[in-house]
Structure 1
Amino acid sequence: MELRRLSICIAFFILAVISQCSEARHSLQRRASDYEVSDEMLNDESNDYGTQNDADGGNDADDEDTPEVEGKILTKGESYRLLIGNSVRLECRVSPADAGLVVSWSKEQKRLFLGNLPQDSENKRASLVHNSNDLLIKDVQINDTGRYTCMIMQASNPVSITHVVIVEEPPRITNFAATANGNLREGNDLLLTCDVTGTPKPSIIWSRQRKYGLGGTEPLGEANGVFTGHTFFMKNITKEDAGIYYCYAISDAGNATAMLTVNVIGKPRVHVHHPIVNTDINVEAQLQCAAHEEPAPHIRWYKDGQLIEDSSFQYTISANGSQSTLSVIPRRDEDFGTFTCEAINPHGKHNKSIDLVQSPVIENFDVEGPKLTWTVHSHQPLEEIEVQVKSNDENGEWKTFQVPLPEVKDPTHEYELIYPLSDKSLESGSYLATVRAKNSKSWSYHSEPVVVQLESQAQPIQTASVFRSDGYSLRPTTFAVLSTTFMYVLVRML
């Protein structure tokens, strides 16, 4: 029974489909017939309109004359920036090229060319390029800067373009001079003059390299003197102002540099390399000083205020340019003490002292992050080294840390030490630190304090790894639904 019922349903479905297809075919035939009738009507109307148009004698526009073609400039105006002495070609392409158009060139309000005819007899460097309307300017000069206009001379509608030419001249320093040719006494005033030319107008920058200073060239600012246009003025110069002075002229067109030497004549200045020197009995020590001066000074050495004679068997004095070296061989404890280097010239004298000691000498005490670094000089065996640290405030108290002694004795009696503070249970903050050392003779002086910044140590953070597997979603599709339905029908039929 169910099979018969299903067969009847399928038959009705097939009849319905056939009926729908037949109806659609008849509808298409009716539409095609309607389109054929419409096309015939349109063709008839078109033929009638054409016949009427022929009877009227055609389009009235054909009776009018064709308008005259106007000239056009195909080139666009541009800006040209070039250095003096170069050449520039200003383009002016017109259309139509064979229409015999008359083209003129002018600069600002002054005409240069009308067609091929020059209009400015004084300008010998401007010409027209052969077989074109381009303007060529050779060996450009500063006065060639301006606006150049190319125009088609036509009564109906003149057209034109404008090129801008900017001629630049690189900076040039024509004069760089100093008061008294740069030879002055201490306390004199110094005036530097730097005359420059160039287009655009150059900017002037000053710098110097000190004769007695460390480092390279340093810029000069308002703290050093007074700037007025192309001059620089310094009042009451000192020995430290001696050196090489530079004038820089800078612009978009280039730059130029000039230099001169300034000598400051006065009493000498003594410089010592090591103010404290360690040595031992019967071990030679070299004490060095230098005096740079004009005129060159005479250098003498003193021991505890007594002049040292070069002929002494215990001392040897040698000179190398502006540097003087005193070699000392102590024979007993009394031979240690204070030695003085004195330089003298016609303008005065100056001196500095060097202490010859048996105690350790601390040098180059510095900070590298949370680490302290320094150098110890000692010919005698080291016994103790201690670092003292306190909080960098009024209420801080000094804490002392013992530094391990170097295990290997350096044959040069010089020891490089590094001491970290990060593992000393100190809270984060700012601290003052100093160091001293002791050998078999005595303690050294405390070093100059340095500032140490300690930061809290960050704790490592453990992170958990997260594993995320790929997921697949089962979403029913149309195909799945139809497949299920078809399988159901087959099962029912069976």
Structure 2
Amino acid sequence: MQRRETIDDIYDDPLLGDEATDDETMNDTDNSEPQPQKIKAVIETPPKHYEVKAGENVMLECKVTPDKGTVAAWFAKDSQYFMGSIGLHPEETRYSIVEDTKDLMIRKAQLSDSGVFRCETLQKEPVGVNHTLLVLQAPIIINMSASNGGRAAAGGDIVITCLVAASPVPTVLWSVTRKDRGNERLTEKDADFHVEGNLYSMHIKDLKKEDTGAYYCYALNRLGSHQAETTVVVNGKPQVHVAKTIVNSAVQIKAVLQCAAHEEIRPHIRWYKDGQLIENNMAQYVISTSGSHSNLTVSPAGDADFGTFTCEAENEYGTHNRSIELVQSPVVEDLDVNGPRMTWTVHSHQPLEEMEVQLKSANEDGDWTTINVPLPEASHHRYEVSFTLEDKQLQPGKYMAVVKVKNSKSWGGTNEPAFVTVVYRQNSAHSIRPVYTALSTILMYLLVRML
């Protein structure tokens, strides 16, 4: 343990040495009387280990013989705190020497007081005793925080720290509660854990949006436990969704194109026409945006005003877009097959001229078979169609089916085919007629096979 150099200077001071330096004394050889030999001081207190709870008082003993005339010093933390009863650290008001003793009193002990304390006599051949002090405290989490305020980008990293005051050294555990999931303990497969002094940290890499949630730090020792939490939000680039990918309209007929961008950080939404940014001052366009929803109203003045419109959303983590085709050709939606019956909806502001169902074997490279469909009545430019394939003299097997519709401008129809299966059912007269069922209607197929 280090001591101040001033202590050694005391031993070297000629006024405190064992031999007199006064010339008169040295020359007075006839009348001087023999001086009594000074007794070497010893410390009778053995080394001790003290344990005390934080906030309590503790006295460290130092019994010296002979007590009278012996000066003792106290050292701790590589520094001298007392010379006799004189304090050398006036800022440390909790430390004092017990009256008429050489014992050290520590009031309202703190964790920082833990360590080695040495009582040592001030003499040519000093003797001393070392005591160890352990201040006990149930864990207290002083601070828990996440880097960047708890906000991170998908695919990025985050570091969560937990500053703990405790003695003995605590066990620290981590957990998380994510959306729609219970509390789950985090282990080495979820994060990298580090300890530096009383600072505990957890490093999570390659974050996903699902990692958003409340993160907990638990500190435990034999005196108690404490917990704290912090929130982590993992953001990503926006995800754009459109109500319809293709919309029918006509010249001088307004069309409303709708999109929504979903993300915690509200994105900035822009619209493009065939790759060109649409400005708010363009006469044929009106943009209405509220929060994460945006509508583009298009008033076509001619054929050139139809085309591909793109809704793009951007935030600090990236961009995403979806496109909508504004067309004058018929738009077919909601194609459904139920047994021999097919249903679909047609949107067209222009009068319909033709409608057909095209069938092709799903197992062969054959030609498409076309079946004409009667034109239905329109209701507000919307046509509801129900068509049955019974008695169309098709061979049994699996077929792809698409719907094609023509109006006064052009043909339109479904892009993705529906699948139908033609099977035979034998009646009591042993005649054969085709029965149609949707491929997905397994129950109907089984019932037919059982007849």
TM bracket, shorter-chain basis? 0.3 to 0.5
Structure with the higher strand share, 1 or 2? 2
Give 1 or 2 for the bigger CA radius of gyration.
1
TM-score relative to the length of structure 1: 0.43
TM-score relative to the length of structure 2: 0.47
